Chain A
Amino acid sequence: MAGLIFAGAVALPAQDVPFDPHSSIQINLPPDSPVSLLSTNVGESRATPRGGAMVVDLHMSLSLRNSGSRNIRGVTLLVTTQEMTPGGKASVAVPSLNIAPSQTFPIRIDLRLLRPLQAGGGPLVKVTLDGVLFEGFDFYGPNRLNSRRSMTVWEMEAERDRRHFQSILNSRGSEGLRREMLDSQVRQAERPRIDVRVSRGGPAISSAAANERMERFAFLHIPDSPVEALDGSAEVAGNEARAAQIRVMNRSPKPVRYVEIGWIVKDAEGKEFLAGSVPASESDLLLSPGQTGRALQDTALRFSRNAGEPVSIAGMTGFVSQVEFADGRVWVPNRAALQSSGLLRVVAPSPEEQRLVDLYRTKGLSAVVEELRKF
């Protein structure tokens, strides 16, 4: 009954109130930024009172231009909200770009804020540049969100996957590439999904109310990984896991400053889901060759599917998903390792694979072939 009334209430049109989206958004790009703002469209933004609160929908479409002299591969914008403290920090990134100098490109930011009616004035949202990645992995920006590493990882994965699809095209022709695009579509459609909720890592309050236990990780070995996961565990209660920690060793000859471990959860029926990743501590990890360190996740993760059905954790598997060396270079698993380990059907496709498959879906094989020949 309540759900039906709720559905009806959602469908009812709410009364918008006068709202100036331009004064609610502040966009600041540094004077020496390699991207310049051409225009901002906030046409569909609106504010709607609901009960004692205000729902502000901000829809921004920024038109940016590459005002530098090198091709841009990725851009990350930092989005902060004025009143959301201590949280309220977000980012919008567009990887897998190939923007030539003077070329323009759009970035869309769609944000919904729920705030008290009697909130203060001033801009609600500030948008600043966190980083720009260029062809050749050069970087510009304050890098507050470690966007340099993220964009480098995405670009490494993009190069890896373009090479893979180019080799398929060269060895098996257009039909081979079509088959690969279809396979990827099927993998994406069939990839098991799980909803994850992150909260502070306090005592477990599981919806399954099960007893807490220490669950150990099993690890997938990636042959050329510069870091090896040695052992690890997390405190598990029903569908909730917290305080995950994994001991890692640097097997490479170079110092390592960041490691991320992919985290796969197995449910009671044996289905595997990519639950998230366990990062190395941002500040204090610097692994010399042969040295061991720890990757930690001090938040609690709660897993569910089908809009709230708890997923009990029956097992956990980890794998090294990315490594950043002290010199800023990045390692990601190669395509063959993903295929042979079975990870390809569990992990999300890279942003570039998503883009190419979407290009195939919307514009056909010839558009993909043309795109692959640009690189």
Chain B
Amino acid sequence: MRKHPSEANLALFAGGELNRWTRWSVERHVAICDGCRRDISDFSALRADSAVLAELPEAAWSPMAAEMKANIRLGLEAGECVSPHAVSRMIFSPRALAACVSLAALLVASVFLERPAPRGTDIRTSEAVLETSGSGIHFREGDQGMVLLNQHAHEVNDLATGRAMQQSYVDSETGMVTINNVYYVE
């Protein structure tokens, strides 16, 4: 078997954010590697779960970022008032660079926290959804969710049976076949 892709590439693949060449390479690998396929499936499930969380905090990130930027600007202006150096030199001073880096980090964090992309449209809807992943059977409705996990499974078989999703596997610790079902109930 070829070398496994890095965990970061598997995570990016799960999010559909790899470039074409790397994506093609990872696709070729996961077609023959159960372990990496399962990792990707887990990353997808975790993205889905975290997307629910992304909706919950009501912090006002934009005002907070604006306030922090204002404070930084105020600090710079205060520094300028007491500084003996000319403005042209201050642009390249260590303090100004540190302020710029902080500002950039703040902007990146703001963009990441507020970016709409990770919140999949399926997650934001209150519609109940049942699906399987490498880690188990997921049921989501609104801001609540449940996963019936298949820990200690070697090989998992999935089946959609009408209003339930089913996974069967052999528990590697007990040697017993376990069949999990999560039901779609209205």
- List chain A positions with a Cβ less than 8 A from chain B: 1-7, 9-10, 50-53, 55, 59, 79, 81, 83-84, 86-97, 105-108, 110-116, 145, 150, 154, 188-189, 193, 195-200, 260, 274-279, 297, 299, 301, 306-308, 348-349, 351-352, 354-355, 358-359, 361-362
B61 at the interface (CB under 8 A from A): no
CB distance from B164 to the nearest CB of A (A): 8
> Is the Cβ of A348 less than 8 Å from the Cβ of B168?
yes
Q: Are B185 and A83 in contact (CB under 8 A)?
A: no
What A residues does B136 contact at CB under 8 A? Answer: 110, 112
- A83, A110, A301, A355: the one within 8 Å of B149 (CB): A110
A198, A274, A297, most chain B CB atoms within 10 A: A198
Partner of B15 from A6, A90, A200, A278 at Cβ < 8 Å: A6
Q: Given A94-B178, A95-B179, A199-B128, decide whether A116 and B144 contact each other with a Cβ distance below 8 A.
A: yes
Residues 170-186 of B contacting A (Cβ, < 8 Å):
170-186
Q: Across the interface, do A307 and B176 meet the contact criterion of CB distance under 8 Å?
A: no
Which B residues are CB-close (under 8 A) to A348?
157, 159, 168
Shortest CB-to-CB span from A179 to chain B, Å, is 20
Q: For chain B, what secondary structure do more than half of its interface residues adopt (helix, strand, loop), or is it mixed?
A: mixed
Is A355's CB under 8 angstroms from B176's CB? yes
Best-surrounded residue of A106, A108, A115 (most CB of chain B within 10 A): A108
Question: Contact between B177 and A307 (Cβ–Cβ < 8 Å)?
Answer: no
- Top 10 closest pairs, chain A to chain B, by CB: A276-B160, A52-B56, A7-B11, A3-B15, A348-B157, A110-B149, A114-B145, A51-B53, A3-B12, A279-B162
B129 near A199 with CB under 8 A, answer: yes
B44-52, B66-74, B75-83: which lies at the A interface?
B44-52
Min CB distance B98 to A, Å, is 23
State A195–B133 Cα separation when bound (angstroms): 8
For A351, list chain B residues within 8 Å (CB): 168, 177, 179
A276–B15 contact, CB under 8 A? no
A195-B131 in contact (CB<8A): yes
CB distance from A310 to the nearest CB of B (A): 12
* CB atoms of A199 and B179 under 8 A apart: no
| Residues of chain B contacted by A355 (CB below 8 angstroms) | 170, 175-177
B106 within 8 A of A: no
Q: Which residues of B contact A (CB under 8 A)?
A: 7-8, 10-17, 27, 30-31, 34, 37, 40-41, 43-44, 46-47, 49-50, 52-54, 56-58, 112, 115, 117-118, 127-133, 136-137, 139, 141, 143-152, 154-155, 157-163, 165, 168-186
Please indicate the chain B residues that have their CB under 8 angstroms from the CB of A89 in the complex.
Answer: 182-183, 185
* A87 CB contact (under 8 Å) in B40, B47, B185: B185
Q: Is the CB of A112 within 8 A of B149?
A: yes
Instruction: Report how far A89 CA is from B163 CA in the complex, Å.
Output: 11
Q: Report how far A47 CA is from B150 CA in the complex, Å.
A: 19
| B52 contacts A352, C-beta separation under 8 Å | no
Closest to B26 in A: A306
Please report the C-alpha to C-alpha distance between residue A81 and residue B162 in the assembled complex, in whole angstroms: 21
What residues of B have a CB within 8 angstroms of the CB of A94 in the complex? 176-179
Q: Which residue of B lies closest to A296 (CB)?
A: B162
13 A-B contacts (beta carbon < 8 Å): A2-B117, A6-B15, A6-B50, A7-B11, A79-B148, A89-B183, A91-B181, A108-B151, A111-B148, A114-B49, A196-B132, A352-B177, A358-B155
Complex contact A93–B183 (CB within 8 A):
no
Cβ B40 vs Cβ A6 within 8 A: no
Q: Are A196 and B151 in contact (CB under 8 A)?
A: no
User: Separation in Å of the A43 CB from the closest CB of chain B?
Assistant: 13
A354 touches B155 (CB 8 A): yes
Q: Evaluate whether A198 and B148 lie within 8 angstroms (CB atoms) in the complex, with A10-B46, A52-B53 already known.
A: no
Q: How far is A91 from B171 in the complex, measured between Cα atoms in Å?
A: 16
Known contacts A94-B178, A105-B176; is A199 also within 8 Å of B158 by CB?
A: no
